[in-house]
Amino acid sequence: MDRGFFSNVELRTPKGRFFYSLAFLFLAVIAIVTLFPFLYAFTSGLKSSTEVVKSLNLLPENPIWENYSQAWTRFEMPRMFANSFVIVTGSVLLRVGVSAAAAFSLSKLKPIGGRFISLGFLLTLMIPSIAYFVPLYTTIADLPIIHTSLIGSYWGLWLPYTVDAFSIFVLKTFFDRIPGDLTDSARVDGANPLQMLTHIILPLSRSILIVLCVLAFVALWRDFLLPYLVLTDPATQPITVRLFYVAGDYSLNLQMAASFLALLPPLLIAILLQRYMKIGLTLGGVKG
């Protein structure tokens, strides 16, 4: 039987009921405050450009649904969404792929100096990224040795975004728990390391791979500064960068409609994939 600090019996007493309702009310108020910006953007997006200024009328008198289609076309939202999608999907696949290969090597192939390399990965977790943001930018603008600039190219985001030691450590911990017997018997049967990774390790790690993909997707979809600096051509910018700068040119009701539309993809992911997000968060909490 599930219980917290209140037992189920206590909750049935008048006093218990009173405290329970009070707690429920408190949580509900916080929930309303939390949801308010979303709801407010949604209803403001339905108002006319004169009504939107009278902000205390929460609900529009005559909801204008065309505002949403207007915002969709006038802000050129399909292109912004497509840009975001291409940037984020490419980065997620690269990040998880590169991390899985590295974690597999560290966990199962035991490279000489593996501990030292792990320390190098760990270092990137301990140093705040804003602290090396400037040289990161100059590196992207002028890659060492080959002296190529990735400014204005999606590679300028895809490649730096693969750096995420958290993914490597989570995967390594997970791979470590896969019994060595499995990989050993595969080796005896003549499987090469690549086959071991793709036929044994990855299928067994499907759940954790999904968790990492979802986490990376949401985190990278939110990112602002790097795409803002790397993608100088407005036509290639993701929605997080572009929308803020064009929003000011339009009336408030269209701004709100566009913002609400822009929030939908991450919100839907959070709601539909909450199971995976929750696992990912608790992984993050333990990380330290």
262 sits near other proteins (criterion: CB under 8 A) = yes
**Least gap, CB of 73 to other proteins (angstroms):** 18
282 sits near other proteins (criterion: CB under 8 A) = yes
Q: Encoding tokens for residue 3?
A: 């219980």
2 sits near other proteins (criterion: CB under 8 A) = yes
Q: Which of 117, 178, 182, 204 binds other proteins (CB under 8 A)?
A: 117
191 sits near other proteins (criterion: CB under 8 A) = no
> Which residues 156-175 are close enough to bind other proteins by CB under 8 A?
159-160, 162-163, 165, 168
> Which residues 220-239 are close enough to bind other proteins by CB under 8 A?
221-225, 229, 239
Candidate segments 60-68, 71-79, 185-193, 204-212, binder of other proteins by CB under 8 A: 185-193
**Which amino acid, residue 160?**
P
Residue 89: exposed, middle, or buried by beta-carbon count in 10 A (0-12, 13-18, 19+)?
middle
> Which residues 132-151 are close enough to bind other proteins by CB under 8 A?
132-144
Q: Which of 26, 119, 199, 232 binds other proteins (CB under 8 A)?
A: 26
Q: Which of 13, 49, 55, 207 binds other proteins (CB under 8 A)?
A: 55
Q: Encoding tokens for residue 15?
A: 């006093």
Q: Give the SS3 label for residue 211.
A: helix
263 sits near other proteins (criterion: CB under 8 A) = yes
12 sits near other proteins (criterion: CB under 8 A) = no
127 sits near other proteins (criterion: CB under 8 A) = yes
What whole-number distance in Å separates Cα of residue 143 and Cα of residue 150? 8
Candidate segments 60-68, 71-79, 154-162, 202-210, binder of other proteins by CB under 8 A: 154-162
Radius of gyration of the chain (CA): 24
**Least gap, CB of 94 to other proteins (angstroms):** 9
65-94 footprint of other proteins as x/- string (CB under 8 A): ------------------------------
In terms of C-beta distances under 8 Å and separation of at least 24 residues, what long-range contacts does 111-120 make, across chains too? 118/172
CB 199 within 8 A of CB 191: yes
- Displacement of CA 15 from its chain's centroid (Å): 43
Q: Encoding tokens for residue 38?
A: 């979303």
6 sits near other proteins (criterion: CB under 8 A) = yes
- The CA-atom distances, in angstroms, between 157 and each of 110, 149, 213, 232, 283 are 31, 12, 16, 12, 25
180 sits near other proteins (criterion: CB under 8 A) = yes
Query: Site size for other proteins, by CB under 8 A?
Result: 107
Q: Which of 104, 154, 166, 175 binds other proteins (CB under 8 A)?
A: 104
> Which residues 242-261 are close enough to bind other proteins by CB under 8 A?
243-244, 247, 252, 255-256, 259
CB 46 within 8 A of CB 67: yes
What whole-number distance in Å separates Cα of residue 250 and Cα of residue 75? 9
123 sits near other proteins (criterion: CB under 8 A) = yes
User: For the chain, how far is it from start to end, CA to CA, in angstroms?
Assistant: 32
What whole-number distance in Å separates Cα of residue 64 and Cα of residue 60? 8
Q: Which of 14, 34, 177, 189 binds other proteins (CB under 8 A)?
A: 34
DSSP state of 62: S
